[in-house]
C-alpha cells in the first residue's frame, strides 16, 4: 500500500473519499471535514485541501463515487450473474443503502445541499451517474432510447427511496426495502408495456411524467 506522503493528488483524493462523510456528519460538508479526514489517514491537511474540491457538492461527488466503488466490490459480476435482472437491481440499490447507512446524518446534510436550486444540475448529474453505474453492473448494454429511459426511471426511484430511507427507523430499514420493492415492480411493469406505450402515437409516452408518478406515488 502506498504511503500517504507518497500519494499523488488523485490517490490521496480517493483515499480521503471514504473518510469525508463521517466527519461531514459533525462538521458539515466543508474544509473542516477535509482536514479531519486528513487527520484520520495521517495526511497533511494542506495537501488534502489541494486534493479535495473546496465546494460542498464536489466533496459529496467524491463520497458518492466511493459509494459506487463500494457497491461494485460488494456485488462482483460472478455474484450478479446468478440473479435475474430484478434481483440484480434490488441488490445493487440495497448495497448502496447499506453503505450509506453508516453515515446517514452526512447523507441527510448532503441531500439538503443537493436540493438547493443552484445545485439542481449537478444533483441531477450525480443521480444519473448512480443509476448508470447500477444498470451497467446489472449487465445492461442498451444504446438506444432504452439506455435513457432505464436510467431515468431508476434515478427517480433511487431518489424517492433515499427520501424514505432518511426517515426510516424500522429494524433493518424494512420500510425502505418494502418501498424499494414496490418501486422495482413499477420498473418491471414499465419494461413489459413500454413497446406498446411508445408505439401509440395518440398517447405519446413521457419519461419525466412517469418518473414523477413513481416518485410521488402513495407509499
Name the grid cell of 140.
445492461
User: Do 163 and 211 sit in the same domain of this protein?
Assistant: yes
User: How many Å apart are CA 11 and CA 109, to the nearest integer?
Assistant: 26
User: Do 28 and 86 sit in the same domain of this protein?
Assistant: no
pLDDT at residue 38 tops 90: yes
Residue that terminates a domain, selected from 23, 39, 54: 54
* The total number of structural domains that make up the chain: 2
Q: What is the CATH number of the domain that holds 199?
A: 1.10.357
Q: What pLDDT, on a 0 to 100 scale, did the predictor assign at position 132?
A: 96
Q: What pLDDT, on a 0 to 100 scale, did the predictor assign at position 97?
A: 97
pLDDT tens column, 98-157: 999 999 999 999 999 999 999 999 999 999 999 999 999 999 988 888 899 889 999 999
Q: What pLDDT, on a 0 to 100 scale, did the predictor assign at position 212?
A: 54
Say which residue, 45 or 5, is predicted with more confidence.
Answer: 45
User: Do 5 and 96 sit in the same domain of this protein?
Assistant: no
User: How many Å apart are CA 13 and CA 4, to the nearest integer?
Assistant: 11
Domain that holds residue 205: 56-215
User: How many Å apart are CA 80 and CA 135, to the nearest integer?
Assistant: 12
pLDDT at residue 1 tops 70: no
pTM: 0.84
Q: What pLDDT, on a 0 to 100 scale, did the predictor assign at position 208?
A: 53
165 burial type by CB count under 10 A (0-12 exposed, 13-18 middle, 19+ buried): buried
3-state secondary structure of 170: coil
User: Do 78 and 138 sit in the same domain of this protein?
Assistant: yes
Please work out, in degrees rounded to the nearest 5, the angle formed at the alpha carbon of residue 147 by the alpha carbons of 156 and 159.
10
Q: What pLDDT, on a 0 to 100 scale, did the predictor assign at position 218?
A: 46
Name the grid cell of 118.
443552484
pLDDT at residue 59 tops 80: yes
Helix boundaries (H) for the chain: 9-27, 31-41, 45-51, 56-74, 77-80, 85-100, 104-114, 120-137, 145-165, 174-199, 207-215
User: Do 114 and 28 sit in the same domain of this protein?
Assistant: no
Distances in Å between the alpha carbon of 75 and those of 47, 89, 138, 181, 211?
A: 33, 11, 10, 19, 26
Q: What pLDDT, on a 0 to 100 scale, did the predictor assign at position 2?
A: 67
Going by C-alpha positions, the residue among 26, 57, 31, 45 that lies closest to residue 125 is 57
Q: What pLDDT, on a 0 to 100 scale, did the predictor assign at position 198?
A: 61
Going by C-alpha positions, the residue among 97, 104, 98, 95 that lies closest to residue 73 is 95
Mean pLDDT for the stretch of residues 83-111:
96
Residue linked to cell 431515468: 152
Please work out, in degrees rounded to the nearest 5, the angle formed at the alpha carbon of residue 163 by the alpha carbons of 31 and 30.
5
User: Do 31 and 87 sit in the same domain of this protein?
Assistant: no
User: How many Å apart are CA 137 and CA 28, to the nearest integer?
Assistant: 31
Mean pLDDT for the stretch of residues 24-46:
95
Going by C-alpha positions, the residue among 144, 148, 133 that lies closest to residue 89 is 133
User: How many Å apart are CA 160 and CA 53, to the nearest integer?
Assistant: 27
pLDDT tens column, 162-219: 999 999 999 999 999 999 999 888 777 766 666 566 655 555 545 555 555 555 454 4
User: Do 84 and 7 sit in the same domain of this protein?
Assistant: no
Amino acid at each position: 500500500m502506498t504511503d500517504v506522503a507518497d500519494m499523488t493528488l488523485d490517490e490521496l483524493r480517493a483515499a480521503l473519499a471514504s473518510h469525508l462523510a463521517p466527519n461531514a456528519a459533525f462538521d458539515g460538508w466543508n474544509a473542516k471535514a477535509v482536514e479531519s479526514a486528513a487527520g484520520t489517514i495521517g495526511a497533511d491537511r494542506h495537501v488534502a485541501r489541494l486534493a479535495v474540491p473546496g465546494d460542498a457538492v464536489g466533496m459529496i461527488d467524491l463520497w458518492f463515487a466511493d459509494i459506487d466503488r463500494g457497491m461494485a466490490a460488494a456485488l462482483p459480476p460472478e455474484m450478479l450473474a446468478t440473479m435475474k435482472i430484478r434481483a440484480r437491481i434490488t441488490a445493487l440499490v440495497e448495497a448502496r443503502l447499506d453503505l450509506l447507512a453508516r453515515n446517514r446524518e452526512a447523507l441527510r446534510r448532503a441531500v439538503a445541499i443537493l436540493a438547493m436550486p443552484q445545485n439542481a444540475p449537478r444533483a441531477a448529474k450525480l443521480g444519473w451517474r448512480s443509476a448508470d453505474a447500477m444498470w451497467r453492473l446489472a449487465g445492461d448494454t442498451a444504446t438506444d432510447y432504452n439506455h435513457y429511459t432505464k436510467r431515468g426511471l431508476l434515478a427517480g426511484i433511487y431518489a424517492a427511496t433515499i427520501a424514505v430511507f432518511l426517515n426510516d427507523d424500522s429494524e433493518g430499514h424494512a420500510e425502505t426495502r418494502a418501498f424499494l420493492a414496490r418501486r422495482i415492480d413499477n420498473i418491471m411493469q414499465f419494461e413489459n408495456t413500454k413497446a406498446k406505450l411508445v408505439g401509440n402515437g395518440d398517447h405519446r409516452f413521457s419519461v419525466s411524467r412517469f418518473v414523477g408518478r413513481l416518485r410521488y406515488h402513495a407509499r
